[in-house]
Amino acid sequence: MEVTIEKLDHYGRGITRINDKICFVDNALPTEIVEIKNLEEKKKYFQAETEKIIKPSINRITPICPFAKECGGCQLLHMDFASENKWKEQKIKEIMKKFANISENKIQNIIAESPYNYRNKITLHQQKNKVGLYKNKTNEIVEITECALIDKKLNSLINNIKTKDETIILRIGNKTDEIAISTDKKKIITSYIGDKKYRVSLQSFFQINSKITEKIYEAIKETLKTKEAQNVLDLYCGTGTIGIYVSDVVKKVLGIESYKEAIEDAKENKKMNQVNNITFKLGKVENLTQEITKIYDTVIIDPPRSGLDKKVVDKLLEIIPKNILYVSCDPITLARDLNLLQKKYEIEYIRPYNMFPRTYHVECLCLLKLR
């Protein structure tokens, strides 16, 4: 069956219609005429794969990765990078309008860097001496010799992995080039964001794209200077990366994080950077709302994909800090939370960052000011 692709959905899949029902098509771009296969009917939609491209889009490119078709980890390798950035910007505009009624003019231009070799970490899987990545939506291993998204120095290690472990994590330090491998004794490395250095253990959360991370942290720091922030609350602070990065432009920072290992790393990071005006508390943010008080004029939020607990939103609306800086890796939960916070806050801007090139994911930084 031949179909014409109208647009992309928010996961980078082509959209067409069959018998008045929406159909999602993998590996297809807007305006393309494609022949589809493996058509599967669900209750409310169809899904299919591209068998053959009859009329390609001018934005189509040949994927640079030989494993692209099987792996499925990158949804946009067949789209040129300029089009990817434009689509991600539009995606944020659509989501914010639909779920939070936020005007398009609040969405700034997307910030992007190189689309390849940006990742400082990869998790590989091994079965029967095959080392690679999981095939999309399966537990089947796609054996790889390299990944176009990871640091070149990590790529050079893939072919020499000798271990019986089922999961292998590789991580490299920004600027230090220190490497940690889960099968080695060395499980902790030093990594930089800007001029701040951080202890990073294999399991702890640390942003995988150092160039984009630095741009986000620098934007937060500049905003705190412009807004003359004094007392800052850093919620879901992880290993203390943002709080430590901005500590030299504010009076005091309190970081709250629920993972014990991350708090231990945060305390080490505080010592490494000789920061004296930051403290860390262990616990779930929603269980420590008594710490969220009116002494804080500014709140930085970088929550997990699930966004903010309702208790946290209610507490912020109660203490009404002058400014909230919200870093999000999921635009849907960001829009949901902004919808609630707009009761007392105005959105100054939402800026998308292409933290995860060649995938459908997009990071956002949002600045809210008290009405």
Same domain, 98 and 235: yes
Asked if residue 75 belongs to a domain, the reply is: no
Please give the tally of structural domains in the chain.
Answer: 3
Instruction: Specify the amino acid at residue 231.
Output: N
| In a shared domain, residues 315 and 260 | yes
Reported pTM: 0.95
How much is the pLDDT for 139? Answer: 86
Q: Does a structural domain hold residue 71? A: no
Is there a contact between 120 and 173 (Cβ–Cβ < 8 Å)?
yes
Tokens of 7: 């647009």
Please check whether residues 265 and 350 belong to one and the same domain: yes
Question: Is residue 97 domain-shared with residue 128, that is, in the same domain?
Answer: no
* 357 and 260 inside one domain: yes
Domain of 7, CATH number, reads 2.40.50.140
Query: Which residues neighbour 302 within 8 Å (Cβ) at sequence distance 6 or greater?
Result: 234, 235, 236, 237, 238, 242, 326, 327, 328
Burial class (CB within 10 angstroms; exposed 0-12, middle 13-18, buried 19+) of 334: buried
State the catalytic residue, choosing from 23, 65, 329, 366: 329
Cα→Cα distances 144→117, 124, 133, 181, Å: 15, 9, 7, 17
Query: For residue 91, is it within any domain?
Result: yes
Last residue in a domain, options 139, 167, 201: 201
Max Cα separation, the chain? 66
Q: 159, 183, 201: which is the final residue of a domain? A: 201
Three-state DSSP state, 216: helix
Inside any domain, residue 70: no
Give 329's contacts (C-beta < 8 A, 6+ positions apart). Answer: 305, 355, 361, 363
Residue 241: which CATH number? Answer: 3.40.50.150
Given a contact cutoff of 8 angstroms between Cβ atoms, the answer to whether 189 and 210 are in contact is no
- Do residues 110 and 129 share a domain? no
State whether 264 and 354 are in the same domain: yes
> How far is the C-alpha of 165 from the C-alpha of 178, rounded, in Å?
22
* 76 inside domain: no
Residues near 39 by beta carbon (within 8 Å), at least 6 away in sequence: 1, 18, 23, 46, 47, 48
Residue 247 pLDDT: 98
Shared-domain flag, residues 241 and 94: yes
Question: What is the CB-side half-sphere exposure of residue 131 using CA atoms within 13 A?
Answer: 20
pLDDT tens per residue across span 313-359: 999 999 999 999 999 999 999 999 999 999 999 999 999 999 999 99
Parent domain of 12? 2-60
Distance of CA 293 to the CA centre of its chain: 29
Task: Give 135-176 as a DSSP string.
Answer: PTTSS-EEE-S--TTB-HHHHHHHTT-----SEEEEEE-TTT
Do 279 and 332 share a domain, yes or no? yes
Domain-located, residue 138: yes
- The pLDDT value given to residue 90: 98
Residues in the chain, pLDDT under 50: none
Burial code (b: 16+ CB inside 10 Å, e: under 16) for 341-350 equals: beeebebeeb
Is 329 catalytic? The answer is yes
How many angstroms separate the CA atoms of 242 and 224, rounded? 12
| pLDDT value of position 230 | 98
Q: Residue 80: how many CA atoms within 13 Å on its side-chain side?
A: 9
